């Protein structure tokens, strides 16, 4: 029997860390350090870069992960219906000053006289007195008049504007196709790269996700893992219909904080996390988590509190964006994120509350909740779970226990998909032998890695195939001798 090169993690962190890969983190040495520092998922932002550059990075990540025996998933993040400015001359930022008058309209060129954006006929959707935000709200324009095909604006909040930064029209309801043609092409290219997860930006309805699944199936991708990014009022209003068709939810606080009053974002974040937790799918908190580390080698106290609070409130993953894509300290940002998450998890472990085994849940969820409660009650060192489909491990993550879960799956591609679910350390053993043999091998590895010692208690959970049973599960308390 052949096994994957991955080993169990002796000190697993429950909350996952997603890192955006960009110019600051694309070097092999930097990627190695980021993986060793705790990166679980590498985000490829398809709003930037070329197919060639993304392909090169994906292959590099796969190779390094194998060398380090550390599994890393690849997340393809589609641009979505995001409007962006064009390019500045020589890709150098321009500076807008408060009170300055400037034109904005369809086009590629960005200067201090006119800002080109990639949305045609924008003048049909705005009126005098409305506001326009650039770069996650860092810059603010006010519409003065409509002049032909351009909008004449005044700068109310100035600053630097770089190429390809986002543009938001919070007072307008713009017209977009169900799926952006660029997203469709990019998603099919992602299939050729065998990306593990796909994030759809500005998801407004369940229909968009269903349609993307059909398009991916046509490209040869069955059962894709789709993350719905909640970024605007419409997506927030339709969260109830989005949850059942998405594999995970991402709280994109940057655009949420522009489309909606900033002071409402913390409450919105808490509400989305609670709904995703209750539904049993992973939820990612993102945007500006350690923003100051783009330039500084330490985060602010407020940023530390933000990450800590996101973990405490139930985030399955936290994400770094510009901090690792273009920041001066990408590795240190991952290290800081890792330390904050671990401290929050120590606090969670000290306040464990028994998980209710609800009658309306399916049998797998009940067994998972029972396994977590048993592990806590007997002070087990870990839970050892076996899953051919990943459903048992997903149920354990949804139970939200604070005991380390060591999982054994049959395929490496499934292992990487499960990296977004909290609390798992995973290895691959092809599920071709009897469960007893799989258990023996996994227990041996736990011993050899000094994870489980003599007299340690381990809770074992698996679904067993029984010829006479519709469903059959194993829940076993194992005391090492």
Domains and CATH numbers, the chain: 16-80+180-349 (3.20.20.60), 83-168 (2.40.33.10), 363-479 (3.40.1380.20)
Q: Nearest 5°: CA angle at 315, between 314 and 318?
A: 155
Check pLDDT > 50 for residue 1: no
> How far apart are alpha carbons 77 and 79 in whole angstroms?
7
Instruction: Tell me the chain's radius of gyration from C-alpha atoms.
Output: 24
Tell me the sheet residues that pair with 426: 407
Helices and strands (H and E) in the chain: how many? 15, 24
191 contacts 183 by C-beta, under 8 angstroms: no
Annotated catalytic, 162? no
Check pLDDT > 70 for residue 431: no
**19-31 mean pLDDT:** 98
**370-385 mean pLDDT:** 94
434 contacts 369 by C-beta, under 8 angstroms: no
31-45, 365-379, 382-396, 467-481, range with the lowest pLDDT: 467-481
Question: What pLDDT shows up at residue 465?
Answer: 74
End-to-end CA distance of the chain: 26
169 contacts 206 by C-beta, under 8 angstroms: no
Each residue of 154-184: pLDDT tens digit? 999 999 999 999 999 999 989 999 999 999 9
Question: What pLDDT shows up at residue 361?
Answer: 63
β-strands 87-88, 41-45 pairing: unpaired
Q: Which of 88, 287, 294, 324 is catalytic?
A: 287
Annotated catalytic, 20? no
Q: Which of 229, 332, 394, 422 is catalytic?
A: 229
344 contacts 311 by C-beta, under 8 angstroms: yes
435 contacts 388 by C-beta, under 8 angstroms: no
Each residue of 258-311: pLDDT tens digit? 989 899 999 999 999 999 999 999 999 999 999 999 999 999 999 999 999 999
Annotated catalytic, 182? no
157 contacts 98 by C-beta, under 8 angstroms: yes
> How far apart are alpha carbons 72 and 411 in whole angstroms?
14
Each residue of 200-223: pLDDT tens digit? 999 999 999 999 999 999 999 999
Q: What is the largest CA-CA distance in the chain?
A: 82
Check pLDDT > 70 for residue 350: yes
Q: Which of 13, 16, 43, 364 is catalytic?
A: 43
Annotated catalytic, 229? yes
Place of tokens 């997603």: 18
Q: Which of 13, 82, 84, 364 is catalytic?
A: 84
Q: How confident is the model at residue 58 (pLDDT cuts 50, 70, 90)?
A: very high
Q: How confident is the model at residue 381 (pLDDT cuts 50, 70, 90)?
A: very high
Joined tokens for residue 472: 């059959």
Among candidate residues 156, 150, 220, the one with its CA nearest the CA of residue 188: 220
> How far apart are alpha carbons 111 and 372 in whole angstroms?
58
Alpha helices, H only, 154-201: 181-193
Question: What pLDDT shows up at residue 2?
Answer: 47
């Amino acid at each position: 029997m052949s096994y994957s090169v991955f080993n169990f993690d002796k000190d697993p962190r429950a909350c996952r860390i997603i890192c955006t890969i960009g110019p600051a983190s694309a070097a092999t040495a930097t990627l190695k350090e980021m993986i060793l520092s705790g990166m679980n998922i590498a985000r490829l932002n398809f709003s930037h870069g070329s197919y060639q550059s993304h392909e090169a990075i994906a292959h590099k990540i796969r190779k390094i992960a194998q060398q380090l025996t550390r599994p890393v998933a690849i997340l393809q993040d589609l641009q979505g219906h995001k409007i962006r400015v064009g390019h500045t001359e020589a890709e150098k930022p321009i500076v807008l000053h408060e009170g300055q008058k400037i034109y904005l309209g369809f086009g590629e060129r960005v200067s201090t006289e006119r800002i080109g954006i990639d949305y045609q006929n924008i003048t049909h959707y705005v009126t005098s007195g409305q506001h326009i935000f650039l770069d996650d709200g860092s810059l603010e324009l006010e519409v003065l008049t409509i002049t032909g095909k351009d909008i004449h604006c005044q700068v109310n909040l100035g600053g630097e504007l770089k190429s390809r930064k986002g543009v938001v029209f919070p007072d307008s309801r713009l017209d977009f196709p169900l799926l952006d043609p660029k997203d469709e092409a990019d998603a099919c290219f992602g299939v050729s790269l065998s990306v593990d997860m796909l994030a759809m930006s500005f998801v407004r309805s369940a229909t968009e996700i269903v349609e993307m699944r059909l398009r991916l199936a046509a490209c040869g991708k069955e059962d894709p893992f789709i993350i719905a990014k909640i970024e605007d009022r419409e997506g927030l209003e339709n969260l109830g219909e989005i949850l059942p068709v998405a594999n995970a939810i991402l709280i994109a606080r940057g655009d949420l904080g522009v489309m909606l009053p900033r002071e409402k974002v913390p409450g919105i974040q808490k509400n989305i996390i609670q709904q995703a937790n209750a539904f049993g799918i992973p939820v990612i908190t993102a945007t500006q988590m350690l923003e100051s580390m783009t330039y500084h080698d330490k985060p602010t106290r407020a940023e530390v509190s933000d990450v800590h609070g996101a973990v405490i409130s139930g985030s399955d993953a936290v994400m770094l964006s510009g901090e690792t894509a273009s920041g001066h300290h990408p590795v240190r940002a991952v290290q800081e994120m890792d330390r904050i998450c671990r401290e929050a998890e120590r606090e969670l472990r000290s306040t464990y509350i028994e998980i209710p085994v609800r009658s309306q849940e399916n049998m797998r969820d009940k067994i998972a909740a029972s396994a977590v409660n048993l592990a806590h009650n007997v002070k087990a060192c870990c839970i050892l779970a076996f899953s051919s489909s990943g459903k048992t491990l997903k149920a354990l993550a949804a139970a939200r226990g604070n005991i380390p879960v060591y999982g054994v799956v049959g395929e490496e591609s499934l292992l990487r998909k499960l990296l977004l679910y909290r609390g798992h350390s995973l290895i691959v053993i092809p599920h071709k032998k009897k469960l007893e043999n799989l258990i023996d091998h996994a227990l041996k590895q736990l011993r050899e890695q000094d994870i489980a010692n003599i007299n340690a208690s381990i809770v074992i959970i698996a679904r067993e195939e029984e010829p006479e049973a519709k469903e059959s599960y194993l829940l076993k308390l194992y005391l090492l001798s």
